[in-house]
Amino acid sequence: MKAVFLEAASAFPEEGERAEVVGEALDFLQNGFDAHYENSEGEAAGNDDILVGDNDYAWAVETIARLDEPRFVAVAGRMIRDGAGRISAGKSVSVESWTPHLAQLLDIVSGEGEKPSEERIKKAAEVSS
């Protein structure tokens, strides 16, 4: 998620520092989702994995809170909730599932609107894959 977001945000170099913080938080979120989804042996997450994932979620929220912008924290919270729901339903978490959330984050950074931000995220996902 971090690479896709930073690729999309690169169109707004004046917002580079804010975009980097968001990217760092997205990295923690992805690590949390990965820990909750399965452990390093490819088995279902156990209690230790869940604690690691929860810790990464906390770091994600703390990181993004450095920007002192409640809208960022709100989107991060929705990502955690939606990701946890997907995982508990046995579904994967992918860039496609995060596109609307990433677009919301990019819109906060850029102010360009969610639709243009979503298109920018989709293009960045193609470049990053």
Instruction: Enter the pTM of the model.
Output: 0.85
pLDDT in tens, 20-36: 999 999 999 888 888 76
Q: Which domain holds residue 61?
A: 2-128
Domain count, the chain: 1
pLDDT in tens, 27-84: 998 888 887 666 445 566 666 777 777 788 889 889 988 988 999 989 988 988 888 8
Mean pLDDT of the 92-109 span:
90
Burial label for 100, CB within 10 Å (0-12, 13-18, 19+), is middle
CB 21 within 8 A of CB 63: yes
Provide Rg for the chain, Cα atoms: 14
